[in-house]
Amino acid sequence: MTKRRFPWHIVVFMAPAFLVYTAVMIFPLFNTLRLALFTEIEQTRVFVGLQNFQTLFFDPIWSEQFWNALANNFWFFIIHMLVQNPIGIALAAMLSHPRLRFAALYRSAIFIPTILSFVIVGFAWKLILSPIWGIAPSMLDAIGLKSLFAPWLGREGSALTTLSLISVWQFVGIPMMLIYASLISIPEEILEASEVDGITGMSAFWKIKLPLILPSIGIISILTFVGNFNAFDLIYVAQGALAGPDFSTDILGTFMYRTFFGFQLQLGDPHMGSAIAGAMFAIILVGVCIYLFGIQTRLRRYQF
């Protein structure tokens, strides 16, 4: 019997990608977690173990900011799950209809905001919603609804929800395209068989198509979770590093930025900033593990 040769060609082709990924992802991650275990005392780095995390979670000053940012982050995520993903699924279902004309044009128009810069989106919507020079008051006035207008980005109770909906507007094209790809991959034989059984229209979507695209919906949900808990750009552009008004739009990303690099009169503290980044990593890791081991393993997959 001939001895099987080790597949060195796989190692050769994967090595460059592995080295780049290690340099830009793995090494910075472990270095950040390492920084969270130290602190500066009289310009000397001292190992303190988990004391920074204890300070972050239980110290009255730090914990108030952390739990506020975490609660805002969950609200940011919930709005995307309840608004963005259902709208994306509905748009995909409509655009996948074989009799719809100009479907490609509609898909492109809905997906275009996804490729726009956060800076463009943030400043554009600040101009649109501005009570002084924005076009939103005049547009609502033109249809007799000017009384409904309010400075949504300037109110504590509505600023975060408004920014969440702006983010939904920008990224609704991603779940739409992923679900659209899943819907058009369903074999015609299955749909024709359902029509023979009298299942058509909305019944066909709920009873046939939806169960078949559940794995794709699960992937979209976990991507939404990871993306929202890594969010930073839109809040920073629209509301600044202080995430106003009165930290009502502060999320973990902006909280970590202010702590790590400092802002205005607040001095930067890389060690506490690394502790916040470590907490963010742990939250995302737990969420992903819950999906992978608690949800994905129970989703039934179909081979076409």
Contact 268, 179 (CB under 8 A): no
Write out the residue range of the structural domain in which residue 126 sits.
Answer: 45-298
In a domain, 77, yes or no: yes
Give the chain's domain count: 1
In a domain, 224, yes or no: yes
Return d(Cα 119, Cα 234) in angstroms, integer.
Answer: 7
Contact 32, 277 (CB under 8 A): yes
Contact 299, 214 (CB under 8 A): yes
Residue 158 burial class via C-beta count within 10 angstroms: exposed 0-12, middle 13-18, buried 19 and up:
middle
In a domain, 117, yes or no: yes
Residues of the chain with pLDDT under 50: 304
Q: Which amino acid is at 21?
A: Y
In a domain, 125, yes or no: yes
* Complete DSSP assignment for the chain: -PPPPP-HHHHHHHHHHHHHHIIIIIHHHHHHHHHTTEEEETTEEEE-TTHHHHHHHHSHHHHHHHHHHHHHHHHHHHHIIIIIHHHHHHHHHHHT-TT-TTHHHHHHHHHGGGGS-HHHHHHHHHHHH-TTT-SHHHHHHHTT-GGG---GGGSTTTHHHHHHHHHHHHHTHHHHHHHHHHHHTS-HHHHHHHHHTT--HHHHIIIIIHHHTHHHHHHHHHHHHHHHHT--HHHHHHHTTTTSSTTTT--HHHHHHHHHH-BTTBPP-HHHHHHHHHHHHHHHHHHHHIIIIIIGGGS-----
pLDDT at position 146: 83
pLDDT at position 196: 82
In a domain, 21, yes or no: no
For residues 44-66, one letter each, b for 16 or more C-beta atoms within 10 angstroms of the residue's C-beta and e for the rest, the string is eeeebeebbbebbeeeeebeebb
User: What would the pLDDT profile of 108-132 be if each residue is shown by its tens digit?
Assistant: 999 999 999 999 999 999 999 988 8
Return d(Cα 160, Cα 248) in angstroms, integer.
Answer: 7
Contact 222, 289 (CB under 8 A): no
In a domain, 11, yes or no: no
pLDDT at position 18: 92
In a domain, 24, yes or no: no
CATH number for the domain harbouring residue 54: 1.10.3720.10
In a domain, 22, yes or no: no
Return d(Cα 50, Cα 153) in angstroms, integer.
Answer: 37
